[in-house]
Amino acid sequence: MKKHRIMKVLPASIADEMDIKPGDCLLKINDQEMDDIFDYQYLVEDEYLEVLIEKPSGEEWLLEIDKDADEDLGIEFESGLMDSYRSCCNKCIFCFIDQMPPGMRETLYFKDDDSRLSFLQGNYVTLTNMSDHDLDRIIRYHMSPINISFQTTNPELRCKMLNNRFAGQALKKVDRLYEAGIVMNGQIVLCRNVNDGDELRRSISDLIKYIPCLESVSVVPVGLSKYRDGLYPLEPFDKETASQTIDMIEDFQKVIFNEHGIHFIHASDEFYLLSGRELPEAERYDGYLQLENGVGMMRLLLDEFDEALAELRERIGDIPAAADTKTDVSVATGKLAAPYIRDMADRLTELLPGVRIRVYEIRNDFFGEMITVAGLLTGQDIREQLSGKELGERLLLPQCVLRSGEDVFLDDVHLHELEKSLQVPIDIVKSSGWDFIEAVLGDRI
């Protein structure tokens, strides 16, 4: 019997009221053992539960619980999966982890490809690590959404790209998920002269048949760091090839929207930056289902900023002295976001002439200049490129540069260390337009 050790009990939760403590082990729910979080999430939905707990002494408690169907017990486990994490069995030609420099913390080198993390955290999985048992449980428990890294629907090419002879056959699992009505989202990491062009056209055409269960598919350019010695030779996209990719995707969007009422296939923001093209309007993102893949992040930010700026303009009209607000700050971000942040800064300073905002585009020396997203900036690159620069009263950094829930950059530089090096207070800014304005103005308005 598997014993799932409880790490935390939330205050005022059902578990707290039942005197369940950290260190106790969960054995069964309704006389059923659990392999992992899939089983737990399904069983805990019942309104009546019989929960078998083992105390550290070995004593077993059988607890009878009446609750609402959507109410959780309020317990957290040593492992978020209640089981060990499954590492990736592929050797993808585009894998970013294979392009990491040596000497970083161990967790950054772990390749996960766990279908349970797709459900819990939104991770994208290739399906090559999804067992028939997992597939059966996803269908039985009707767990959605499942996020899938397709790369291509050409079975032979998929085997080549993932360096896994079973990768093409794994695509058949999508048929079962579709037949069971499981909600899915997809991703295609686009590699120039590999799965682009006619192969991309084939993939999109094949994936359309899974609508409406397959709600969206993002197309993102492969990320290429400078650490690629011995790896498959891949070329970066340029203005021309990015434009060609966008043209194909936008042509498909028109056809798909006419037939299904959604745009379905989406190019990431990076393609639009590379091509120099205007970002699509908000309506074409179908509710921003692919934000975590960098699809629509800039459009959403700009639209939120427009709304916030309009509200600020009205507020200034009500409080004339607000127009005299003075502040002097700097913003650091990656190459992808910099043009848009600069535009926002210009429009804010036009409204408030006493506000000065310097926007610094940080070049990614750590991973290489072809990496343009802010989320892969390191503390050392920010420190080296801003040393000696005018930073004003405060430096603003986007939240994505830090590890989730911590004040540490990818390269383990701590936020307080960067503040000390640059001799300036640093404010971390969330991703909305209002957050940007509030971060710039503080409590001055």
User: Could you tell me where in the chain the CATH 2.30.42.10 domains are found?
Assistant: 4-77
CA distance linking residue 260 with residue 207, whole number of Å: 13
CA distance linking residue 370 with residue 350, whole number of Å: 32
pLDDT band at 144 (very low <50, low <70, confident <90, very high): confident
pLDDT band at 431 (very low <50, low <70, confident <90, very high): confident
Expressed in percent and rounded to 5, the helix, strand and coil fractions of the chain are: 40, 20, 40
CA distance linking residue 141 with residue 153, whole number of Å: 27
In DSSP notation, 108-150 reads: GG--B--HHHHHHH--EE-STT--HHHHHHHHHHT---EEEE-
Average of per-residue pLDDT across 20-45: 89
Q: Which of 331, 316, 323, 435 is nearest to 393 (CA)?
A: 331
Q: At what angle do helices 297-318 and 433-441 cross, to 10 degrees?
A: 50
pLDDT the model gives residue 89: 79
CA distance linking residue 330 with residue 390, whole number of Å: 8
User: Could you tell me where in the chain the CATH 3.80.30.10 domains are found?
Assistant: 97-295
pLDDT the model gives residue 278: 94
pLDDT at residue 79 above 80? no
pLDDT the model gives residue 82: 66
pLDDT at residue 377 above 80? yes
User: Could you tell me where in the chain the CATH 3.40.50 domains are found?
Assistant: 300-441
- φ, ψ dihedrals at 358, nearest 5°: -100, 130
Q: Which of 154, 157, 153, 118 is nearest to 134 (CA)?
A: 118
CA distance linking residue 218 with residue 2, whole number of Å: 38
CA distance linking residue 185 with residue 189, whole number of Å: 14
Q: At what angle do helices 415-422 and 379-386 cross, to 10 degrees?
A: 10
Token pair 């682009």 is found at 196
- What 3-state class would DSSP assign to 194? coil
Q: Which of 309, 279, 312 is nearest to 297 (CA)?
A: 279
Q: Which CATH number fits domain 300-441: 3.40.50, 3.10.450, 1.10.3470, 3.30.2010?
A: 3.40.50
Strand partners, 333: 361
Q: What is the dihedral of CA 407, 409, 413, 417, to 10 degrees?
A: -40
pLDDT tens profile 205-242 = 999 999 999 999 999 999 999 999 999 999 999 999 99
The CATH H-level superfamily of 4-77 is PDZ domain (2.30.42.10)
- Token representation of residue 82: 């209640």
- φ, ψ dihedrals at 321, nearest 5°: -65, -20
Q: Which of 326, 327, 301, 323 is nearest to 391 (CA)?
A: 327
pLDDT at residue 122 above 80? no
pLDDT at residue 106 above 60? yes
For domain 97-295, the CATH class is alpha beta
Strand partners, 327: 355
Cis peptide before 102 (omega within 30 of 0): no
CB within 8 Å of 317: residues ≥ 6 apart:
none
Taking each continuous run of H as one helix and of E as one strand, the counts in the chain are: 15, 15
- What 3-state class would DSSP assign to 237? coil
| Residues 254, 246 contacting (CB under 8 angstroms) | no
Percent of the residues in the chain that have a pLDDT greater than 90, as a whole number: 69
pLDDT tens profile 341-357 = 999 999 999 998 889 99
- What is the value of pTM for the model shown? 0.83
In DSSP notation, 167-191 reads: HHHHTHHHHHHHHTT--EEEEEEE-
CA distance linking residue 152 with residue 183, whole number of Å: 19
CA distance linking residue 269 with residue 266, whole number of Å: 9
